[in-house]
Structure 1
Amino acid sequence: MSEPLPRFQVVPRRPGLPPRGWLVAIGVAWLLTLAGTWMLATWLAEPGLGDTRAKLRAAERTVAQQKRQIDELDQRLVTLARSDQISRAANTELQSSLAERDEEISALRADVAFYERLVGSTSQRKGLNVHSIDFSPTEAGTWNYRAVLTQNLNRGAISQGQMRFAVEGVRAGKLATIGWDELHNRADTPGQDYSFRYFQELTGNVMLPKDFTPQRVRISLRGGAGSVEQTFDWKPAGSGGGT
C-alpha cells in the first residue's frame, strides 16, 4: 500500500531571479522617470515655444497685410491701365478731329481766296457761269459730282434756276450721250435747284453704264437770268475750263 501524497510541497527558490514585486517597482520607476523627463523638457522649452508662436502670429499678420497691399496695387494697376487706354482713345479721337478741322480750315481758306478773286476789284466780271465740275468714284460704282456756279456781273442780284448735265462719251464702240434722266436711272428727273448771290456749290450722285467711257460733260443752267450751256472735259477729281 502506497503512502498518500503530502498536501503541501516545498519548492526551493532559484538563485538569481528577483521577486515579481521588484519588477513592478522598476517598471513604475521607469515610467515616472519618463514623465519627469517630459515635464522637464516641456518646462525648459516653454519660453522658446511662446516666442515662436508670437513670431508666427506676427508673420501671419505681415503676410495678410502684404496680401492686402498686393490686391490694392493690382486694382490700382488695372485702373491705371484702363485710364491709359481711355486717354489713348481720346487722344486718337482728338488727333482725328484736329485733322478734320485742318481740312475744313483749308477748304474755308480756299473758298475765301476764291471769293476774293470772284468779287475783288480786279476780278473779271461775268454773268451766270459754271466755274468747275469734279467727279469722284464711289465704292458702290457710282460717281459723286461737285459743281461750282458763279456770277459777279450783277452784284447783289440773286441767281435762281435749275442745273442739269449730260455726259458724252463712247458706248459699245460708238459715240453716245447719257442724259440727266439716265444718269439718275429715273424718268422725268427734275433739275437740281440753285439760288445764290455770288457763288454756290452743288453736289450729287449719278450712275454711268458699265460699258460707257465718259469724255465730256455738257452742263445747262436754266433760270430767270437766262440760259447757259458749257462743256467740260471729263476729269475725275479735277476741273476743267468751260467752253
Structure 2
Amino acid sequence: MSDTRKPNDEYVVIRHRPGYRLRRTMILLAFTVVAAIAGYAAGMAQGGFRFSSAEASNEQLAQELRSLRDQFRTARQNLVNLERGRAIDEQALREARNTIVGLETRISELEADLTFYRNIMAPSETSKGLQVDSFTLASARGDNTYRFKMVLTQVGNNNSFIAGQVAVNIIGRLDGEKEVIALRDLSDDIEDLGVRFRFRYFQDVEGTLNLPQGFEPYEIQVVAQAQGRNASQAERTFDWAQLTGS
C-alpha cells in the first residue's frame, strides 16, 4: 500500500477523557448559582438597610406629629383663655359703662331736684305763689295708654299750706273735629272733674290715662285754682308731641 500523505500535513493527537465536558459544565453551573446567591444576599442586605431607614423616619415623623399635637392643644387652650379673658374684660367694661350712665342719670336727677327745691325756697320775683311745675307722660301697656305725673308747687311763701283744685284737659281731634276731654274721663285714678290738692311745698298727682280710639291729642291744659287766704290761679299748656317725644 502506497503512502499518499503529503509532507506538509500535520496531525494532532488528543487524549480521550471520558466525562470531562460534563464536569466543566457542572462547574460553570455551580459558579453561576453561587454568583446568583451572592447577588440575592447583597440585595437583601441593601433592602434591609432601606427598611431600617424607613422605620427610623416613620418613628421620627410620629414624634414630630405628637409634638405638633401637643403644641396645637396648648395653643388652643391659650386661645380659649384669651377669649375668656376678653369676654370678662368686655363684661367688666359694659358694667363700668352702665354704672357711669347710672351715676350720670342719678346726678342729673339730683341736680334737677336741687334746682326744684331752690326755686321753691328762693324764687325770683316773677315766680311766686302757686305754680304748675311740670307734667310728664310715659307709654304704658298699650299704644293708647300712658302713665302721667303732674307736679304743683308753692313758691316763696311756704309758711302756710295752700289748697284748692286743679283741672286737666286733653285737647285734640276726633273724627276731624276739635275735642276737649277731661282727665277724669280718661283715667280711673281721677274721680272728680277737679283734682283736690293741699300742700306746703309741692304735691304730685299721678295715674294712668287711656285715649279713645281715633283720638289725636296735641295739647294738655292744666289750670290750678288755690282757695282761701292764698287764693291764686296758675295755668300752663303742654305740647303732647314734646311730652311723648313723637
C-alpha contact 2:161 2:198 (8 A) present in aligned 1: yes
Structure 1 residue 106, shift from structure 2 partner: 1.4
Structure 2 match to 1:4: none
Pick aligned residue for 1:147 from 127, 133, 150 = 150
Alignment CA distance shift 1:68-1:156 (3 Å): farther
Q: Answer yes or no: is 1:61 the counterpart of 2:83.
A: no
Letter of the structure 2 residue corresponding to residue 151 of structure 1 = Q
- State the shift of 1:105 in Å: 0.7
The equivalent residue for 2:215 is 211
- Give yes or no for contact 1:180–1:189 (8 Å, CA) kept in 2: no
Q: In structure 2, what is the equivalent of residue 107 of structure 1? A: 109
Shift of 1:81: 1.9
Could you tell me how far 1:235 is from its partner in structure 2?
A: 1.6
Is the Cα–Cα contact under 8 Å of residues 151 and 198 in structure 1 kept in the other structure? yes
1:119 Cα deviation from its structure 2 partner: 0.8
Larger radius of gyration: 2
1:81 aligned partner, one-letter code: E
The TM-score, its normalising length taken from structure 2, stands at 0.62
Q: Map residues 1-243 of structure 1 onto 2, 5 A cutoff.
A: 25-26=30-31, 28-38=33-43, 41=46, 45=49, 49=52, 56-120=58-122, 126-135=128-137, 140-152=143-155, 155=158, 165-172=168-175, 174=177, 176-184=179-187, 186=188, 189=191, 197-209=200-212, 210-220=214-224, 230-236=234-240, 237=242
1:167/1:215 contact within 8 Å kept: yes
Matches of 1:121 and 1:230, distance apart in 2 = 16
Greater CA deviation, 22-31 or 93-102?
22-31
Structure 1 Cα separation of the partners of residues 78 and 29 of structure 2: 73
- Compute the displacement of 1:108 (Å): 1.2
In structure 2, distance between residues paired with 1:36 and 1:194: 121
SS at match of 1:234: strand
CA distance in 2, matches of 1:111, 1:17: 134
Between stretches 20-29 and 174-183, larger displacement belongs to 20-29
| Alpha-carbon shift at residue 24 of structure 1 (Å) | 6.4
1:71 partner letter: R
Shift of 1:183: 1.2
More divergent stretch after superposition (164-173 vs 100-109): 164-173
**Which one-letter code corresponds to 2:149 in the other structure?**
R
Cα shift at 1:97: 3.3
Residue identity matched to 1:148: V
> How has the CA–CA distance of structure 1 residues 24 and 98 changed in structure 2, closer, same or farther, with 3 Å as cutoff?
same
How far has the Cα of 1:36 moved from its partner?
Answer: 4.3
Shift in alpha-carbon separation, 1:165–1:66, aligned structure 2, 3 A: same
Deviations 1:74-114 (A, max 9, x none): 12112312331342243234323322321221121122022
Q: What SS does structure 1 have at the residue aligned with 2:144?
A: coil
Tell me how far apart the structure 2 counterparts of residues 225 and 24 of structure 1 sit (CA, whole Å).
Answer: 151
Structure 2 CA distance for partners of 1:187 and 1:109, relative to 1, 3 Å: closer
Q: Deviations over 1:132-175 (max 9, x none)?
A: 32446677233443322212556476778986633245544555
Give identity over the alignment, percent: 22
Please give the per-residue CA displacement for 1:47-87, whole angstroms capped at 9, x wherever unaligned: x947x755653443233123211111112112312331342
Q: Is the 1:183–1:206 Cα contact (8 Å) retained in structure 2?
A: yes
Which structure 2 residue ranges, 5 or more long, are not aligned? 1-17
In structure 2, the CA distance between the partners of 1:207 and 1:38, relative to structure 1 (3 Å rule), is same
Secondary structure class of the residue paired with 1:151: strand
Once the two structures are overlaid, the 10-residue window that deviates more, 94-103 or 105-114, is: 94-103
Distance 1:59 1:179, change over 3 A: same
For 1:37, the aligned partner's letter is A
